[in-house]
A and B are shown apart, each in its own frame.
Chain A
Amino acid sequence: MTGRTEPASDMTSPGRWHRRHLLAIEPLSREEILTVLDVAAAMKEVSQRDVKKVPALRGKTVVLLFFEPSTRTRTSFEIAAKRLSADTVSFAVSTSSVSKGETFLDTVLNLQAMAPDAIVVRHRSAGAPYFITNYIDACVINAGDGSHEHPTQALLDAMTVRERLGRLDGLKVAIVGDILHSRVARSNIFLWHKVGSEVWVCGPPTLLPPVFRQWPVRVTYRLEEALEGADVIIVLRLQLERHVSLRFPSIREYFQRYGLTRERLKYAKAGVLIMHPGPMNRGIEIESEVADGPDSVILYQVSNGIAVRMAVLYLLLGGATVP
Chain B
Amino acid sequence: MTERLLIREGRVVDPTQGLDDFRDILIEDGVIREVAPRLPTFPEAKTLEARGLIVAPGFIDMHVHLREPGEEDKETIETGTRAAAAGGFTAVACMANTTPVNDTAAVTQWILERARTVGIVRVYPVAAVTRGLRGEELTEMGELVDAGAVAFSDDGRPIRSTQVLRCALEYSRMTDRVLIDHCEDPDLTQGGAMNEGYYSSLLGLPGIPAEAEAIAVARDIFLARLTEAPVHVAHVSTRAAVELIRWAKQKGLPVTAEATPHHFTLSDRAVYERPYDTNLKMNPPLRTDDDVTAVVEGLADGTIDAIASDHAPHRLDDKRVEFDLAAFGVIGLETAVALALDRLVHTGRLSLRRMVELFTVGPARILRLPTPTVAPGRPADLTLIDPDQAWTYRVAESFSRSRNSPFDGWTFRGRAVRTIVGGQVVFEVSSQPAG
**What A residues does B317 contact at CB under 8 A?**
103
Q: State which of B191, B201, B205, B320 has its C-beta within 8 Å of the C-beta of A127.
A: B205
Q: Does A104 contact B (CB under 8 A)?
A: yes
Contact with B along A278-292 (1 / 0, CB 8 A): 000000000000000
Q: State which of A3, A4, A149, A243 has its C-beta within 8 Å of the C-beta of B204.
A: A149
Q: Does B324 contact A (CB under 8 A)?
A: yes
Rounded to whole Å, the gap between the CB of B22 and the closest CB of chain A is: 46
**What B residues does A186 contact at CB under 8 A?**
202, 204
Rounded to whole Å, the gap between the CB of B179 and the closest CB of chain A is: 32
Contact with B along A125-139 (1 / 0, CB 8 A): 111101100000000
B317: nearest chain-A partner, CB-CB:
A103
Given A3-B273, A4-B272, CB of A104 within 8 Å of CB of B204: no
Q: Does B391 contact A (CB under 8 A)?
A: no
Q: Does B106 contact A (CB under 8 A)?
A: no
Q: Does B198 contact A (CB under 8 A)?
A: yes
8 Å CB interface, A180-211 against B: 180, 183, 186, 209, 211
A133: nearest chain-B partner, CB-CB:
B275
8 Å CB interface, B164-200 against A: 191, 196-198, 200
A183: nearest chain-B partner, CB-CB:
B204
B322: nearest chain-A partner, CB-CB:
A125
B197: nearest chain-A partner, CB-CB:
A211
Q: Does A248 contact B (CB under 8 A)?
A: no
Q: Does A20 contact B (CB under 8 A)?
A: no
Question: Is the CB–CB distance between B323 and A126 below 8 Å?
Answer: yes
CA of A146 to CA of B269 in the docked complex: distance in angstroms? 20
Rounded to whole Å, the gap between the CB of B321 and the closest CB of chain A is: 6
**What B residues does A211 contact at CB under 8 A?**
196-198, 200-201
8 Å CB interface, A228-244 against B: 243
A23: nearest chain-B partner, CB-CB:
B275
Q: Does B36 contact A (CB under 8 A)?
A: no
Question: Is the CB–CB distance between A26 and B275 below 8 Å?
Answer: no
CA of A129 to CA of B320 in the docked complex: distance in angstroms? 13
Question: Is the CB–CB distance between B322 and A104 below 8 Å?
Answer: yes
Q: Does A1 contact B (CB under 8 A)?
A: yes
8 Å CB interface, B258-272 against A: 269, 272
Question: Is the CB–CB distance between B324 and A215 below 8 Å?
Answer: no
8 Å CB interface, A125-165 against B: 125-128, 130-131, 145-149
Question: Is the CB–CB distance between A128 and B322 below 8 Å?
Answer: yes
CA of A176 to CA of B182 in the docked complex: distance in angstroms? 39
8 Å CB interface, B303-355 against A: 317, 320-325
Q: Does B203 contact A (CB under 8 A)?
A: yes
A126: nearest chain-B partner, CB-CB:
B204
Q: Does B393 contact A (CB under 8 A)?
A: no
Q: State which of A123, A126, A212, A215 has its C-beta within 8 Å of the C-beta of B203.
A: A126
8 Å CB interface, B198-231 against A: 198, 200-206
Rounded to whole Å, the gap between the CB of B129 and the closest CB of chain A is: 30
Question: Is the CB–CB distance between A148 and B203 below 8 Å?
Answer: yes
B205: nearest chain-A partner, CB-CB:
A126
CA of A147 to CA of B324 in the docked complex: distance in angstroms? 11
**What A residues does B325 contact at CB under 8 A?**
125
**What B residues does A147 contact at CB under 8 A?**
204-206
CA of A127 to CA of B274 in the docked complex: distance in angstroms? 11
Q: Does B276 contact A (CB under 8 A)?
A: yes
CA of A291 to CA of B196 in the docked complex: distance in angstroms? 35
B276: nearest chain-A partner, CB-CB:
A127
Rounded to whole Å, the gap between the CB of A246 and the closest CB of chain B is: 11
Question: Is the CB–CB distance between B324 and A4 below 8 Å?
Answer: no
**What B residues does A26 contact at CB under 8 A?**
202
Question: Is the CB–CB distance between A215 and B276 below 8 Å?
Answer: no
Question: Is the CB–CB distance between B320 and A105 below 8 Å?
Answer: yes
CA of A147 to CA of B320 in the docked complex: distance in angstroms? 20
Given A1-B202, A126-B205, A147-B204, CB of A131 within 8 Å of CB of B324: no
Question: Is the CB–CB distance between B204 and A145 below 8 Å?
Answer: yes
Chain A CB within 10 A, most for which of B200, B275, B324: B275
A134: nearest chain-B partner, CB-CB:
B320
CA of A148 to CA of B321 in the docked complex: distance in angstroms? 17
Q: Does A214 contact B (CB under 8 A)?
A: yes
Contact with A along B129-162 (1 / 0, CB 8 A): 0000000000000000000000000000000000
**What B residues does A125 contact at CB under 8 A?**
322-325
Question: Is the CB–CB distance between A127 and B198 below 8 Å?
Answer: no
CA of A112 to CA of B272 in the docked complex: distance in angstroms? 26
Question: Is the CB–CB distance between A4 and B275 below 8 Å?
Answer: yes
**What A residues does B191 contact at CB under 8 A?**
243
**What B residues does A183 contact at CB under 8 A?**
204
**What A residues does B273 contact at CB under 8 A?**
3-4
Q: State which of A4, A127, A209, A214 has its C-beta within 8 Å of the C-beta of B323.
A: A127
CA of A211 to CA of B206 in the docked complex: distance in angstroms? 13
Rounded to whole Å, the gap between the CB of B239 and the closest CB of chain A is: 17
Q: State which of A126, A180, A214, A243 has its C-beta within 8 Å of the C-beta of B324.
A: A126
**What A residues does B272 contact at CB under 8 A?**
3-4
CA of A130 to CA of B204 in the docked complex: distance in angstroms? 13
Rounded to whole Å, the gap between the CB of A79 and the closest CB of chain B is: 27
B193: nearest chain-A partner, CB-CB:
A126
Contact with B along A290-318 (1 / 0, CB 8 A): 00000000000000000000000000000
Rounded to whole Å, the gap between the CB of A100 and the closest CB of chain B is: 16
Rounded to whole Å, the gap between the CB of B206 and the closest CB of chain A is: 8
**What B residues does A214 contact at CB under 8 A?**
198, 201
**What B residues does A104 contact at CB under 8 A?**
321-322
Rounded to whole Å, the gap between the CB of A242 and the closest CB of chain B is: 11
Given A211-B198, A214-B198, CB of A131 within 8 Å of CB of B322: yes
CA of A130 to CA of B323 in the docked complex: distance in angstroms? 10
Question: Is the CB–CB distance between A130 and B275 below 8 Å?
Answer: yes
CA of A147 to CA of B205 in the docked complex: distance in angstroms? 7
Q: State which of B196, B198, B204, B275 has its C-beta within 8 Å of the C-beta of A146.
A: B204
**What A residues does B203 contact at CB under 8 A?**
126-127, 148
CA of A316 to CA of B158 in the docked complex: distance in angstroms? 47
Q: A103-B321, A127-B204 are in contact. List 18 more A-B contacts (CB 8 A).
A: A4-B273, A26-B202, A105-B321, A125-B322, A125-B325, A126-B205, A127-B275, A127-B323, A131-B276, A131-B321, A131-B323, A146-B204, A147-B205, A149-B204, A183-B204, A209-B201, A211-B196, A214-B201
Counting from the closest, the 3 A-B pairs by CB-CB distance are A127-B276, A148-B204, A125-B322
Q: Can you list 10 A-B contacts with CB-CB less than 8 angstroms, sorted by A residue number?
A: A4-B273, A103-B317, A127-B204, A130-B275, A145-B204, A147-B204, A148-B203, A180-B201, A211-B201, A214-B201
